Protein backbone atom coordinates (compact mmCIF):
# COMPACT_ATOMS: atom_id res chain seq x y z
CA UNK A 1 0.00 0.00 0.00
CA UNK A 2 1.28 3.50 -0.83
CA UNK A 3 2.30 5.77 2.03
CA UNK A 4 -0.59 7.67 3.59
CA UNK A 5 -0.51 11.46 3.78
CA UNK A 6 -0.52 13.10 7.25
CA UNK A 7 -4.21 13.95 6.71
CA UNK A 8 -5.02 10.33 5.86
CA UNK A 9 -3.11 9.10 8.93
CA UNK A 10 -5.13 11.48 11.12
CA UNK A 11 -8.40 10.39 9.47
CA UNK A 12 -7.44 6.75 9.94
CA UNK A 13 -6.95 7.25 13.69
CA UNK A 14 -10.26 9.12 13.93
CA UNK A 15 -12.24 6.50 12.02
CA UNK A 16 -10.52 3.59 13.82
CA UNK A 17 -11.66 5.10 17.13
CA UNK A 18 -15.17 5.63 15.75
CA UNK A 19 -15.55 2.06 14.44
CA UNK A 20 -14.01 0.55 17.58
CA UNK A 21 -16.74 2.36 19.52
CA UNK A 22 -19.46 1.02 17.22
CA UNK A 23 -18.28 -2.49 18.05
CA UNK A 24 -17.82 -2.04 21.80
CA UNK A 25 -21.12 -0.29 22.57
CA UNK A 26 -24.44 -0.40 20.75
CA UNK A 27 -25.04 3.32 21.30
CA UNK A 28 -23.65 4.65 17.97
CA UNK A 29 -25.34 1.95 15.86
CA UNK A 30 -28.62 2.65 17.70
CA UNK A 31 -28.41 6.39 17.13
CA UNK A 32 -27.60 5.92 13.43
CA UNK A 33 -30.49 3.49 13.09
CA UNK A 34 -32.80 5.95 14.87
CA UNK A 35 -31.73 8.83 12.61
CA UNK A 36 -32.39 6.76 9.48
CA UNK A 37 -35.63 5.13 10.66
CA UNK A 38 -37.14 3.18 7.77
CA UNK A 39 -35.33 5.32 5.18
CA UNK A 40 -32.72 2.57 4.81
CA UNK A 41 -32.87 -1.24 5.18
CA UNK A 42 -31.71 -1.76 8.77
CA UNK A 43 -29.35 -4.61 7.86
CA UNK A 44 -27.13 -2.20 5.89
CA UNK A 45 -26.05 -0.48 9.13
CA UNK A 46 -24.55 2.37 7.12
CA UNK A 47 -22.62 5.16 8.79
CA UNK A 48 -23.65 7.55 6.07
CA UNK A 49 -26.69 9.08 4.41
CA UNK A 50 -27.34 5.85 2.51
CA UNK A 51 -31.08 5.33 2.01
CA UNK A 52 -33.49 3.38 -0.18
CA UNK A 53 -33.30 6.03 -2.92
CA UNK A 54 -29.53 5.77 -3.03
CA UNK A 55 -29.55 1.97 -3.09
CA UNK A 56 -32.28 1.86 -5.74
CA UNK A 57 -30.48 4.37 -7.95
CA UNK A 58 -27.14 2.58 -7.60
CA UNK A 59 -28.80 -0.75 -8.34
CA UNK A 60 -30.36 0.44 -11.57
CA UNK A 61 -27.55 2.74 -12.71
CA UNK A 62 -24.56 0.43 -12.28
CA UNK A 63 -25.89 -1.91 -15.00
CA UNK A 64 -23.74 -4.78 -13.71
CA UNK A 65 -23.97 -8.42 -14.71
CA UNK A 66 -23.77 -11.38 -12.28
CA UNK A 67 -20.22 -12.41 -11.46
CA UNK A 68 -18.68 -9.00 -12.23
CA UNK A 69 -16.67 -7.06 -9.61
CA UNK A 70 -18.07 -4.08 -7.71
CA UNK A 71 -15.61 -1.84 -5.82
CA UNK A 72 -16.92 0.04 -2.76
CA UNK A 73 -14.48 2.87 -2.10
CA UNK A 74 -14.58 4.20 1.48
CA UNK A 75 -16.72 1.18 2.33
CA UNK A 76 -16.80 1.62 6.12
CA UNK A 77 -18.19 -1.58 7.61
CA UNK A 78 -19.27 -2.69 4.17
CA UNK A 79 -23.07 -2.72 4.38
CA UNK A 80 -23.77 -0.64 1.27
CA UNK A 81 -21.49 -2.68 -0.98
CA UNK A 82 -22.62 -5.99 0.52
CA UNK A 83 -26.30 -5.13 0.07
CA UNK A 84 -25.69 -4.19 -3.58
CA UNK A 85 -23.45 -7.22 -4.21
CA UNK A 86 -26.19 -9.55 -2.99
CA UNK A 87 -28.88 -7.77 -5.00
CA UNK A 88 -26.81 -7.72 -8.21
CA UNK A 89 -25.21 -11.17 -7.72
CA UNK A 90 -21.77 -9.63 -8.21
CA UNK A 91 -18.47 -9.98 -6.35
CA UNK A 92 -17.34 -7.20 -4.05
CA UNK A 93 -14.11 -5.58 -3.01
CA UNK A 94 -14.31 -2.88 -0.36
CA UNK A 95 -11.54 -0.41 0.43
CA UNK A 96 -11.34 1.85 3.46
CA UNK A 97 -8.54 3.64 5.27
CA UNK A 98 -9.81 2.40 8.62
CA UNK A 99 -8.31 -0.96 9.58
CA UNK A 100 -11.08 -1.45 12.12
CA UNK A 101 -13.79 -0.86 9.51
CA UNK A 102 -12.14 -3.39 7.21
CA UNK A 103 -12.04 -6.02 10.00
CA UNK A 104 -15.71 -5.40 10.88
CA UNK A 105 -16.71 -5.60 7.21
CA UNK A 106 -14.85 -8.90 6.79
CA UNK A 107 -16.65 -10.30 9.84
CA UNK A 108 -20.14 -9.56 8.48
CA UNK A 109 -19.73 -10.39 4.79
CA UNK A 110 -21.30 -13.84 5.15
CA UNK A 111 -24.51 -12.18 6.43
CA UNK A 112 -25.00 -11.10 2.80
CA UNK A 113 -23.02 -13.25 0.36
CA UNK A 114 -20.88 -16.41 0.42
CA UNK A 115 -17.61 -15.20 1.99
CA UNK A 116 -15.52 -15.98 -1.09
CA UNK A 117 -17.56 -13.39 -3.02
CA UNK A 118 -16.50 -10.40 -0.89
CA UNK A 119 -13.22 -9.07 0.43
CA UNK A 120 -12.17 -5.86 2.14
CA UNK A 121 -8.80 -4.20 2.34
CA UNK A 122 -7.10 -1.11 3.70
CA UNK A 123 -6.47 1.62 1.14
CA UNK A 124 -7.36 5.18 0.30
CA UNK A 125 -9.50 6.86 -2.31
CA UNK A 126 -6.39 7.98 -4.19
CA UNK A 127 -4.50 4.68 -3.79
CA UNK A 128 -6.90 1.78 -3.41
CA UNK A 129 -4.33 -0.96 -4.01
CA UNK A 130 -6.63 -2.51 -6.63
CA UNK A 131 -5.29 -3.50 -10.04
CA UNK A 132 -5.89 -1.64 -13.30
CA UNK A 133 -9.35 -2.12 -14.87
CA UNK A 134 -10.25 -4.84 -12.37
CA UNK A 135 -13.80 -3.61 -11.63
CA UNK A 136 -16.96 -3.32 -13.72
CA UNK A 137 -18.67 -1.00 -11.25
CA UNK A 138 -17.85 1.24 -8.29
CA UNK A 139 -19.64 3.08 -5.53
CA UNK A 140 -18.43 5.73 -3.14
CA UNK A 141 -20.87 6.92 -0.49
CA UNK A 142 -20.19 9.96 1.71
CA UNK A 143 -16.43 9.67 1.56
CA UNK A 144 -14.97 12.45 -0.55
CA UNK A 145 -15.21 16.01 0.69
CA UNK A 146 -12.73 18.44 -0.87
CA UNK A 147 -12.06 19.31 -4.50
CA UNK A 148 -8.51 17.90 -4.50
CA UNK A 149 -9.70 14.60 -3.01
CA UNK A 150 -12.52 14.47 -5.57
CA UNK A 151 -9.99 14.84 -8.41
CA UNK A 152 -7.73 12.13 -6.95
CA UNK A 153 -10.70 9.80 -6.48
CA UNK A 154 -11.80 10.26 -10.09
CA UNK A 155 -8.30 9.48 -11.30
CA UNK A 156 -8.15 6.30 -9.21
CA UNK A 157 -11.65 5.23 -10.29
CA UNK A 158 -10.65 5.73 -13.91
CA UNK A 159 -7.64 3.48 -13.33
CA UNK A 160 -9.52 0.62 -11.65
CA UNK A 161 -12.66 0.61 -13.81
CA UNK A 162 -12.97 -1.25 -17.07
CA UNK A 163 -13.73 1.07 -20.00
CA UNK A 164 -17.48 1.56 -20.38
CA UNK A 165 -18.28 0.73 -16.75
CA UNK A 166 -19.86 3.01 -14.19
CA UNK A 167 -19.26 4.61 -10.82
CA UNK A 168 -22.02 5.94 -8.57
CA UNK A 169 -20.85 8.57 -6.09
CA UNK A 170 -22.38 11.00 -3.64
CA UNK A 171 -21.32 14.60 -4.16
CA UNK A 172 -22.11 17.40 -1.73
CA UNK A 173 -21.33 20.99 -2.59
CA UNK A 174 -22.27 24.39 -1.24
CA UNK A 175 -25.66 25.46 -2.63
CA UNK A 176 -25.16 28.02 -5.37
CA UNK A 177 -21.70 26.80 -6.29
CA UNK A 178 -23.25 25.33 -9.45
CA UNK A 179 -21.65 22.43 -11.20
CA UNK A 180 -17.99 23.23 -10.63
CA UNK A 181 -17.23 19.53 -10.31
CA UNK A 182 -18.50 18.63 -13.78
CA UNK A 183 -15.44 19.72 -15.84
CA UNK A 184 -13.23 17.75 -13.43
CA UNK A 185 -15.28 14.64 -14.18
CA UNK A 186 -14.98 15.10 -17.92
CA UNK A 187 -11.24 15.84 -17.71
CA UNK A 188 -10.78 12.61 -15.76
CA UNK A 189 -12.17 10.59 -18.69
CA UNK A 190 -15.78 10.08 -17.60
CA UNK A 191 -19.16 10.95 -19.06
CA UNK A 192 -21.86 12.11 -16.67
CA UNK A 193 -24.77 9.75 -17.20
CA UNK A 194 -27.07 10.91 -14.45
CA UNK A 195 -27.27 13.40 -11.61
CA UNK A 196 -29.94 12.65 -9.03
CA UNK A 197 -30.63 15.38 -6.47
CA UNK A 198 -30.87 14.22 -2.84
CA UNK A 199 -32.98 16.85 -1.06
CA UNK A 200 -33.46 14.43 1.84
CA UNK A 201 -29.73 14.14 2.62
CA UNK A 202 -29.30 17.13 4.98
CA UNK A 203 -32.22 15.96 7.11
CA UNK A 204 -30.55 12.58 7.71
CA UNK A 205 -27.44 14.28 9.11
CA UNK A 206 -29.55 16.83 11.01
CA UNK A 207 -31.44 14.03 12.79
CA UNK A 208 -28.22 12.22 13.64
CA UNK A 209 -26.42 15.33 14.94
CA UNK A 210 -29.41 16.33 17.07
CA UNK A 211 -29.41 12.83 18.56
CA UNK A 212 -25.70 13.04 19.39
CA UNK A 213 -26.16 16.43 21.02
CA UNK A 214 -29.26 15.43 22.98
CA UNK A 215 -27.58 12.22 24.22
CA UNK A 216 -24.29 13.89 25.22
CA UNK A 217 -24.23 12.27 28.68
CA UNK A 218 -24.78 8.80 27.22
CA UNK A 219 -22.17 9.41 24.52
CA UNK A 220 -19.58 10.41 27.12
CA UNK A 221 -20.37 7.41 29.30
CA UNK A 222 -20.28 4.89 26.43
CA UNK A 223 -17.46 6.29 24.30
CA UNK A 224 -15.31 8.34 26.65
CA UNK A 225 -14.71 12.07 26.52
CA UNK A 226 -12.18 12.10 23.67
CA UNK A 227 -14.41 10.47 21.05
CA UNK A 228 -17.56 12.16 22.39
CA UNK A 229 -15.81 15.54 22.04
CA UNK A 230 -14.84 14.75 18.42
CA UNK A 231 -18.40 13.75 17.50
CA UNK A 232 -20.03 16.68 19.28
CA UNK A 233 -17.59 19.11 17.65
CA UNK A 234 -18.50 17.70 14.22
CA UNK A 235 -22.21 17.94 15.02
CA UNK A 236 -22.01 21.54 16.23
CA UNK A 237 -19.83 22.67 13.31
CA UNK A 238 -21.74 20.95 10.52
CA UNK A 239 -25.34 21.47 11.74
CA UNK A 240 -25.51 25.19 10.87
CA UNK A 241 -24.02 24.53 7.43
CA UNK A 242 -26.47 21.79 6.44
CA UNK A 243 -29.05 24.20 5.06
CA UNK A 244 -26.45 25.45 2.61
CA UNK A 245 -25.56 21.97 1.31
CA UNK A 246 -26.69 20.52 -1.98
CA UNK A 247 -26.24 16.82 -2.28
CA UNK A 248 -26.54 14.61 -5.33
CA UNK A 249 -25.85 11.10 -6.47
CA UNK A 250 -23.90 11.08 -9.69
CA UNK A 251 -23.45 8.25 -12.16
CA UNK A 252 -20.29 8.44 -14.22
CA UNK A 253 -19.35 6.22 -17.11
CA UNK A 254 -15.72 5.60 -17.95
CA UNK A 255 -15.19 6.53 -21.57
CA UNK A 256 -14.03 3.71 -23.78
CA UNK A 257 -10.86 5.53 -24.83
Ligand X SMILES: C[S@@+](CC[C@H](N)C(=O)[O-])C[C@H]1O[C@@H](n2cnc3c(N)ncnc32)[C@H](O)[C@@H]1O
| Interaction site with ligand X (CB under 6 A) | 8, 11, 15, 46-48, 50, 74-76, 79-80, 96-98, 101, 124-125, 141-143
Q: Based on CB atoms, which residue is closest to ligand X, 97 or 118? A: 97
- Which three-class secondary structure state does DSSP give residue 14? helix
Q: Give the Å distances, CA to CA, from 203 to 45, 68, 209, 210, 245.
A: 18, 34, 10, 10, 11
Q: Based on CB atoms, which residue is closest to ligand X, 95 or 257? A: 95
Q: Based on CB atoms, which residue is closest to ligand X, 2 or 179? A: 2
> Nearest distance from residue 31's CB to ligand X, in Å?
14
> Nearest distance from residue 257's CB to ligand X, in Å?
28
**Structural contact between residues 181 and 225, judged by C-beta atoms closer than 8 angstroms:** no
> Nearest distance from residue 227's CB to ligand X, in Å?
14
Q: Based on CB atoms, which residue is closest to ligand X, 148 or 221? A: 148
10 Å Cβ neighbour count for 43?
13
- Positions of E strands within the chain: 69-73, 91-96, 118-122, 135-140, 161-174, 190-197, 245-254
> Nearest distance from residue 76's CB to ligand X, in Å?
3
Residue nearest to ligand X (CB): 76
> Nearest distance from residue 84's CB to ligand X, in Å?
11
Largest Cα separation within the chain, whole Å, is 56
Beta-carbon-side half-sphere exposure of residue 209 (alpha carbons within 13 Å): 19
Q: Based on CB atoms, which residue is closest to ligand X, 37 or 178? A: 37
**Structural contact between residues 135 and 30, judged by C-beta atoms closer than 8 angstroms:** no
**Structural contact between residues 39 and 60, judged by C-beta atoms closer than 8 angstroms:** no
Amino acid sequence: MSKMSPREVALQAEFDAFYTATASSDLLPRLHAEALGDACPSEVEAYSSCNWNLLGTALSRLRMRPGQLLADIGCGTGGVGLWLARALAVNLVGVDLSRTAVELAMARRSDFVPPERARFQVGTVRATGLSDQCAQGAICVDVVVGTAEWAATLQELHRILEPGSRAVLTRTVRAGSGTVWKPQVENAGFEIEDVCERPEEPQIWRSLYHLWISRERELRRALGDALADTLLKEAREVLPRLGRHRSSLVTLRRRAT
